[in-house]
Amino acid sequence: MKDVAIVGLGCAAYTAAVYTARYKLDTVLIGEVEGGMGMSAAEVGNWPGNIDISGPDLMENYKNHALSFENVEHKVGRVEKVEKTDEGFLLTMQNSDTLEARTVIFATGSNKRHLGIPGEEEFSGKGVTYCATCDAFFYRGKDVAVLGGGDSAVEGAAIAAQVANKVYLVHRKDTFRAEPYWVDKVNEKDNVEFVLNTNAIEVIGDQKVTGLKLDTPWNGSDTLNVDGVFIEIGSIPAVSLPKNIGCTLDDRGHILVDDAMKTSIQGVFAAGDVSSGSNHFAQFATAAGEGSVAANSVFNYLQAGE
């Protein structure tokens, strides 16, 4: 029986593990993807102490720190089910292995949002991707479209512009909600063209992507001839496990937590992008903060013998 099972392998999860380890709690970290969404950040310029570090490097630092403690066990795999028991919680893995823990911290992060237009699923992996910073390298010298207006889209366009011939940044509005830093970066690129007040309505191609249809003609055509389409329109909190165990969600689909990162289920806590905390401001810094608070709350909960 572990003291705490931390479900997730991202920023909030690794931070929580550092704290639970220092509280001398027997800890297990479980998740499918080491580093989580942090692996898709090409450049992190707002992590205190590092003026410029890549997401993968930052996540490797997190992981190494968490696993430097002997009382932290690390498992890579999918948790299929979490059930309440008299002693705590039973976690069942995809391979049918099980483990028990007295408490659970859900730090499951989020999944990329899909647009839901014709051709999107058909050409997924054949020119349609959901991570411009991950896959831009494969489109060296080609023309691509990046869809979205937030940080991931604008950052992705800036990264893609370093290798692509032409980048079309397609956004349904005429202003961006992205951090001004990234908007300035994109404006510096002479091979980025802004396609604003426009929606993508279909991905077209044959064996692979050849174009993107628009709902409003752009430069006299309703089709952009591109080799790749990067869909960067935000993410959806990964709440299937906490939802199934009965955790209350907020009106945006995140796990509802209080200021101690407690959920509606006794003994269950949440941290990071999956939670309603930090005013839904999904950042490395807020995820780390929530992870540390959740760990402290687990320690207090176990100390009180609740």
Check which CATH number belongs to the domain holding 223 and give it.
3.50.50.60
The pLDDT tens digits of the residues spanning 149-205 come to: 999 899 999 999 999 999 999 999 999 999 999 999 999 999 999 999 999 999 999
Identify whether residues 90 and 71 lie together within a single domain.
yes
Q: What is the mean pLDDT of residues 252-262?
A: 97
- Phi-psi label, residue 128: left if phi above 0, alpha if psi -120 to 50, beta otherwise: beta
Structural Rg of the chain based on CA atoms = 21
The pLDDT tens digits of the residues spanning 63-79 come to: 999 999 999 999 999 99
Confidence of residue 45 (pLDDT cuts 50, 70, 90): confident
- C-alpha 251/C-alpha 258 separation (Å) is 15
What lies within 8 Å, CB to CB, of 132 at 6+ separation is 144, 146, 152, 153, 155, 156, 157, 159, 160, 230, 232
Identify whether residues 98 and 8 lie together within a single domain.
yes
What lies within 8 Å, CB to CB, of 103 at 6+ separation is 3, 4, 5, 88, 89, 267, 268, 269, 298, 301, 302
The pLDDT tens digits of the residues spanning 103-142 come to: 999 999 999 999 999 999 999 999 999 988 788 889 999 9
Are residues 82 and 7 in contact, defined by beta-carbon separation less than 8 angstroms?
yes
| Domain boundary, last residue among 186, 213, 231 | 231
Identify whether residues 100 and 241 lie together within a single domain.
yes
Q: What is the mean pLDDT of residues 250-277?
A: 97
Host H or E run for residue 185: helix 180-187
Which two tokens mark 49? 């102490």
CA nearest 272: which of 19, 74, 51, 7? 7
Instruction: State the catalytic residues.
Output: 131, 134-135
Identify whether residues 81 and 140 lie together within a single domain.
no
Whether residue 40 has pLDDT greater than 90: no
Quick check: is 175 in a domain?
yes
What lies within 8 Å, CB to CB, of 37 at 6+ separation is 10, 109, 110, 235, 273
Q: What is the mean pLDDT of residues 217-238?
A: 95
**Residue 241 CA from chain centroid, whole number:** 16
Predicted pLDDT of residue 37: 85
Quick check: is 123 in a domain?
no
Quick check: is 118 in a domain?
no
What's the number of domains the chain is made of? 2
Furthest CA-CA distance within the chain: 69
Identify whether residues 288 and 216 lie together within a single domain.
no
| Domain boundary, last residue among 199, 231, 263 | 231
Range of the domain at 13: 2-112+235-304
Which two tokens mark 83? 């059930």
Identify whether residues 6 and 108 lie together within a single domain.
yes
| Domain boundary, last residue among 201, 231, 261 | 231
- C-alpha 82/C-alpha 274 separation (Å) is 16
Identify whether residues 22 and 61 lie together within a single domain.
yes
Identify whether residues 16 and 165 lie together within a single domain.
no
- Please name the amino acid found at residue 231: I
Identify whether residues 176 and 247 lie together within a single domain.
no
